[in-house]
Structure 1
Amino acid sequence: MPSTQSLISTDIDYERPGLQNGTLRVPYSHDRSAYGHIPIPITVLKGGDGPTVLLTGGNHGDEYEGPVALMKLIRRLPSMSIKGRLIVVPALNFPAFINGSRTSPIDRGNLNRVFPGARNGHITEMIAHYADTELFPRADVVIDLHAGGASFNHLPTVLAAPPADISRSAEYRRLVQAFAAPQTMLMDLLGEDRTYGAAVERHGKLFLCGEFGGYAACDPDGVAIVEDGLRRVLHTLGVTPDDRPPAPRHDTRWLKVEGARHYVFASRAGVAEPVFGLGDQVKKDQLAARVFDPYAPWSEPQEIRFAGDGVVVCMRSFARVEPGDCIAVLAADAQWQ
Structure 2
Amino acid sequence: MTTATSHITTSRITTDVDFERDGFQTGTLRVPHSHDRSAYGHIAIPLAVLKAGSGPTLLLTGGNHGDEYEGPVALMKLINRMPALRIAGRLIVVPGLNFPAYMNGSRTSPIDKGNLNRMFPGARDGTPTQMIAHYVETVLLPLADVALDLHAGGASMNHLPTLLASPPPDRDRHALYWRLVDGFGAPHVMVADLLGEDRTFAAAAERRGKLFLCGEFGGFGTCNPDGLAIVEDGVERLIATLGLLPGHPVPDPRPGRLMRVEGARHYLFAPAPGLFEPAFRLGDEVADGQIAGRLYDPHAPWREPVDLRFRGSGVVVCVRSFAHVQPGDCLVHLASDTVRT
TM-score of the pair, normalised by structure 2: 0.96
Identify the residue that residue 48 of structure 1 maps to in structure 2. 53
Asked whether the 8 Å contact 1:155–1:212 carries over to 2, the reply is yes
Question: Is the Cα–Cα contact under 8 Å of residues 287 and 303 in structure 1 kept in the other structure?
Answer: yes
Contact 1:187 1:256 in 2 (8 A): yes
- Partner residue of 1:145? 150
Contact 1:147-1:153 at 8 Å conserved across structures: yes
Q: What pairs up with 1:67-78 in 2 under 5 angstroms?
A: 67-78=72-83
2:178 maps to amino acid: R
Q: How does 1:106-255 map to 2 (within 5 A)?
A: 106-243=111-248, 251-255=255-259
Q: In structure 1, which of residues 300, 317, 322 is the aligned counterpart of residue 321 of structure 2? A: 317
Instruction: Tell me, yes or no, if the aligned pair for 1:228 and 1:246 is still in contact at 8 Å.
Output: no
Residues 223-272 of structure 1 show CA distances to partners (whole Å, capped at 9, x for unaligned) of 11111111111111110124457767x65100000000000100010100
Q: Distance in 1 between matches of 2:255 and 2:126?
A: 44
Equivalent pair of 2:258/2:338 in contact (CA under 8 Å)? yes
Amino acid at match of 2:261: V
Matched residue SS, 1:133: helix
User: Deviation of residue 3 (structure 1)?
Assistant: 3.2
Alpha-carbon separation, structure 1, partners of 2:152 and 2:272: 27
SS of aligned partner of 1:50: coil
1: CA distance, partners of 2:265 / 2:88: 45
In 1, are the aligned partners of 2:46 and 2:94 still within 8 Å (CA)? yes
In 2, the alpha carbon distance for the partners of 1:114 and 1:289 equals 34
Q: 1:62 aligns with which of 64, 67, 91?
A: 67
Q: SS where residue 136 of structure 1 aligns?
A: helix
Matched with 2:299 is 295
| Runs of 4+ displaced beyond 2 Å | 241-248
Q: Once the two structures are superposed, what CA deviation does each residue of 1:67-116 show, in whole Å capped at 9, x if it has no partner?
A: 10000000000111100000000010000000000000000000000100
Structure 2: which amino acid aligns with 1:178? G
Residue 332 of structure 1 is matched in structure 2 by 336
Q: Distance in 1 between matches of 2:232 and 2:326?
A: 36
Q: 1:2 Cα shift?
A: 8.1
Stretches of structure 2 lacking an aligned partner (at least 5 in a row): 1-5
For residue 5 of structure 1, report the CA deviation from its aligned partner.
0.7
Instruction: Name the CA distance, whole Å, in 2 between partners of 1:104 and 1:243.
Output: 40
Q: Distance in 2 between matches of 1:243 and 1:63?
A: 31
Q: Specify whether residues 69 and 26 from structure 1 end up closer, same or farther in structure 2 by C-alpha distance, changes over 3 A only.
A: same
Query: Equivalents in 1 of 2:247, 2:277: separation in Å?
Result: 51
Question: What is the identity, as a one-letter code, of the residue corresponding to 1:260?
Answer: A
How much is the aligned-residue C-alpha RMSD, in angstroms?
A: 1.3
Contact 1:231 1:245 in 2 (8 A): no
CA-to-aligned-CA distance 1:277-301 (integer Å, 9 cap, x gap): 0000000000001110000000011
Counterpart of 2:3 in structure 1 is none
Alignment correspondent of 2:260: 256
Asked if the contact 1:64–1:217 (Cα under 8 Å) also holds between the matched residues in 2, the reply is yes
Unaligned runs of 5+ in 1: none
The answer (yes or no) to whether the contact 2:181–2:255 under 8 Å persists in 1 is no
**1:177 counterpart SS class:** helix
Asked whether the 8 Å contact 1:59–1:91 carries over to 2, the reply is yes
Asked whether the equivalents of residues 4 and 119 of structure 1 are also in contact (C-alpha less than 8 Å), the reply is: yes
> For residues 268 and 233 of structure 1, what CA distance do their matches in structure 2 show?
43
What CA distance in whole angstroms lies between the structure 1 residues aligned with 2:171 and 2:67?
35
Note if contact 2:183-2:251 (Cα within 8 Å) is conserved in structure 1: no
Opposite residue 40 of structure 1, the aligned amino acid is I
The answer on whether the counterparts of 2:59 and 2:147 sit within 8 Å (CA) in structure 1 is: yes
Give percent identity, aligned residues only: 65
Q: Deviations over 1:38-78 (max 9, x none)?
A: 00001000012100110000000000000100000000001
Q: Match of 2:8, SS?
A: coil
Residue 274 (1) aligns with residue 278 (2): yes
Q: Calculate the TM-score normalised by the size of structure 1.
A: 0.98
